[in-house]
């Protein structure tokens, strides 16, 4: 009798466990699958197009004008060699449409006939996707330099006038000397009333002592160059955007880290009533598995249209470089090794 009871108890436990397992299995099977990994405009060209079809854009607070900067890496070839055509123009136009920028400072633009055609093609596709009226202007150095700075803006939202090359930002004698770059400035007015001077800049790259010294000269020239621009505009509001290449100096003694160079620049600009804005990501350029903060925004410290505690937003694969969901290698190949930075300003004239 005792053996029978034990057998019955064991059988009952087996039945209960079996039923429980079936129910648990069904409940797991009936659960919805976890949502797919989130995508953004820089995951792939297809995901970018999908976002635009859904009407999605990078979130913008109401009452803001949007400014951005992007080094487009030897646009449109992706390298110094002519005709490589590595830049994916359709994806780039889509990414710009998703960023929803009003004014974009660009760097590393070629100015060959083929590059000019590619830029027109990019703008046409961007206008088709966004419904905007984007136009572009590059510096006037022509064939004297291999890379150019420029501005792209949406005439449906902003006007730009008084465009001029800023020779002082080239650390050599002239605006287009020694294959280094000037700045390009414009007086910009947004539909909401914000008006300011915007400058696109690109300082010397590399971490050797010579390059570091040339960058120092460019940074030393920034306060005077911006003061001259704002004096002519009779308005102190100014925004400088670009690839300032704050990568430090490895051959200097003592060496200077990228962070130390950024701190030195910040101190110098603060003394001139300018602010080097912080970023919400550790880097804007991906190289060798590392991300370095090279691209920056500099503003007049007195500019009231700058929101409190403003930070530059780093978009693209740099922002997601530590995520398993990211596919930064594809974006680096087809778009740029740099990531765009975005800054939203209050779209009113608060002077």
Alpha-carbon distance values, 270 to 63, 90, 267, 307 (Å): 28, 40, 5, 18
Rounded Cα distance between 42 and 95, Å, is: 7
pLDDT for position 39: 64
- Three-class DSSP category at 201: strand
Alpha-carbon distance values, 278 to 43, 257, 341 (Å): 25, 17, 11
As beta bridge partners, residue 256 has 249
Domain boundaries, the chain: 48-346
How many other CB atoms are there within 10 angstroms of residue 236's CB atom? 17
pLDDT for position 317: 78
pTM, 2 dp: 0.87
Matching CATH number, 48-346, of 3.60.10.10, 3.30.70.580, 3.40.140.10, 3.40.640.10 = 3.60.10.10
pLDDT in tens, the chain (351 residues): 434 444 434 344 333 334 334 433 433 333 333 333 346 899 999 999 999 999 999 999 999 999 999 999 999 999 988 877 699 999 999 999 999 999 999 999 999 999 999 999 999 999 999 999 999 999 999 999 999 999 999 999 999 999 999 999 999 989 999 989 999 999 999 999 999 999 999 999 999 999 999 999 999 999 999 999 999 999 999 999 999 999 999 999 999 999 999 999 999 999 999 999 999 999 999 877 788 999 999 999 999 999 999 999 999 878 655 443 444 588 889 999 999 999 999 999 998
């Amino acid at each position: 009798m005792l053996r029978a009871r034990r057998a019955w108890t064991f059988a009952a436990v087996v039945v209960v466990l079996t039923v429980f397992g079936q129910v648990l299995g069904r409940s797991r099977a009936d659960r919805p699958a976890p949502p797919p990994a989130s995508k953004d405009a820089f995951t792939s060209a297809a995901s970018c197009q999908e976002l635009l079809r859904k009407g999605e854009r990078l979130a913008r607070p109401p009452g803001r004008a949007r400014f951005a900067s992007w080094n487009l890496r030897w646009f449109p070839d992706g390298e110094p060699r002519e005709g490589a055509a590595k830049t994916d123009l359709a994806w780039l136009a889509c990414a710009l449409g998703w960023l929803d920028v009003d004014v974009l400072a660009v760097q590393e633009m070629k100015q060959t006939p083929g590059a000019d055609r590619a830029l027109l093609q990019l703008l046409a596709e961007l206008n088709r996707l966004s419904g905007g009226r984007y136009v572009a202007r590059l510096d006037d150095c022509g064939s004297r330099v291999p890379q150019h700075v420029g501005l792209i803006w949406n005439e449906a939202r902003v006007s730009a006038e008084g465009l001029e090359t800023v020779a002082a930002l080239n650390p050599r004698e002239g605006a287009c000397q020694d294959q280094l770059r000037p700045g390009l400035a414009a007086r910009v007015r947004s539909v909401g009333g914000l008006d300011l001077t915007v400058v696109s800049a690109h300082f010397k790259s590399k971490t050797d002592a010579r390059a570091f010294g040339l960058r120092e000269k460019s940074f030393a020239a920034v306060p005077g160059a911006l003061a001259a621009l704002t004096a002519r505009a009779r308005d102190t509001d100014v925004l400088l955007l670009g690839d300032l290449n704050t990568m430090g100096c490895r051959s200097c003694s003592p060496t200077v880290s990228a962070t130390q160079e950024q701190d030195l620049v910040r101190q110098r600009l603060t003394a001139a009533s300018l602010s080097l804005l912080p970023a919400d990501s550790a880097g804007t350029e991906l190289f060798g598995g590392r991300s370095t903060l090279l691209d920056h925004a500099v503003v007049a410290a007195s500019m009231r249209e700058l929101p409190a505690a403003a930070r530059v937003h780093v978009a693209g694969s740099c922002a997601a470089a530590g995520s398993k969901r990211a596919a930064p290698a594809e974006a680096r190949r087809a778009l740029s090794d740099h990531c765009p930075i975005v800054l939203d300003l209050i779209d009113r004239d608060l002077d």
